[in-house]
Structure 1
Amino acid sequence: MSQNPHTAFPLVRTLGAVAVLLGLVACAAPRPDASATANLQATRGNTASGTVRFVQNGDKVQVTGEVKGLKPGAEHGFHVHEKGDCSSGDGMSTGGHFNPTTTAHGQHGQGAHHVGDLPSLMADAQGVAKIDFTSTTLTLKPGTTSIMDKGLIVHRDPDDYKTQPTGNSGPRVACGVIRAS
């Protein structure tokens, strides 16, 4: 009794096709060069918290996340700070803005600005700010401009993008440390 080879093992053929497709998908999805996460915790007397993820591919870093517990409908300064230390309770242990190139404070993506200058956060009516932007200023790769193990701060007030060296963003309402993930 002879069997047709195309019908004798349909499950094996199907599984083989699935394995090939999964292999193609795995090859097509680029692996990031580096990734990091900052878990933001409220500073003393505040309620802001959230998670921010950084994913580097080539010279671009995609920044995504969400911060809750902010003043509803308000804009908040958002910066990388020089020290990865949130131990003070008020966020001041993170030091000043991360500025390894000694550049003037400014608006991220527009003219001269610190490495640590990020786009301000805009809280919705529920006090939630969504974060989603790409940066060519930030890097997770080793070197003097790497933001790895630096502080990440959300401020109470909007950044005016003019006042030196901080943008007059007011007190720090949330603090986290950018760590490899």
Structure 2
Amino acid sequence: MVLSACGTTENNQKEDELDDEAVETNAAPEEVLVELMNSEGQIVATAELTEKEAGGVRIVLKGENLPPGEHGFHIHEFGQCVPPDFESAGAHYNPTDSKHGFLHPEGPHAGDLKNIMVNEDGTVYAEVDAPMVTLSPDGENTLFTEEGTSLIIHADPDDYKSQPSGNAGDRIACGVIGE
């Protein structure tokens, strides 16, 4: 009696290839896309987050139908965006328990970002760096906390010093990071 196992070598080879290609489950995603909505629930902007080689996260923001002018832009501590006021997003992301603002001697928060400028036609394109955070789920100051995190666009510019949030005014757009 002769038994043939035609698929055995092929199956073992495929399993070996899969082992070689094993992906670390806690690795940082290559990019994270975030949709920001206004108080009426309309998507007004998208943000693409990528890990920078030198550390930190680059945020590329593209939007339309926003009020023209300078606006505060921050990472907030909770991954919730309940309109109309987005207070559900909590305060600025601050895992280091720092003071707010680039101009404060004990600042900034990890979630403090540079202001963005919306054009007269309501469009925005901005590249903003967040040097104190990571997309790595196990990394220090990860944006993937148990509570989640979010991006917020404010009505007014951040003055980079007033406590606790730079006097940036109402929250006019919100998007959950990693949703």
Give the Cα separation in 2 of the matches to 1:168 and 1:120: 12
Contact 1:71 1:123 in 2 (8 A): yes
Q: Which segment is superposed worse, 59-68 or 91-100?
A: 59-68
Given candidates 91, 99, 102, the residue that maps to 1:96 is: 91
Give the Cα separation in 2 of the matches to 1:67 and 1:157: 16
Aligned pairs for 1:47-86 (under 5 A) are 49-58=44-53, 59-72=55-68, 74-86=69-81
What TM-score do the two structures reach when normalised by structure 1?
0.72
Give the Cα separation in 1 of the matches to 2:71 and 2:93: 18
Aligned pairs for 1:1-181 (under 5 A) are 34-44=30-40, 49-58=44-53, 59-72=55-68, 74-107=69-102, 112-142=107-137, 143-148=139-144, 149-179=148-178
Contact 2:111 2:130 in 1 (8 A): no
Percent of residue pairs identical: 36
Give the Cα separation in 2 of the matches to 1:169 and 1:66: 20
Question: Could you say what secondary structure the match of 1:93 adopts?
Answer: helix
Give the Cα separation in 2 of the matches to 1:48 and 1:71: 14
Contact 1:77 1:159 in 2 (8 A): yes
What is the deviation of 1:83? 0.4
1:25 corresponds in structure 2 to none
Give the Cα separation in 2 of the matches to 1:111 and 1:121: 23
What is the number of residues matched between the two proteins?
146
Higher CA-based Rg:
1
Higher helix share: 1
Q: What RMSD, in angstroms, separates the aligned Cα atoms of the two structures? A: 2.4
Question: Could you say what secondary structure the match of 1:34 adopts?
Answer: coil
Runs (5+) with no aligned partner, structure 2: 1-27
Give the Cα separation in 2 of the matches to 1:88 and 1:125: 25
The alpha-carbon distance between structure 1 residues 62 and 111, as it changes in their structure 2 partners (threshold 3 A), is farther
Amino acid across the alignment from 2:151: L
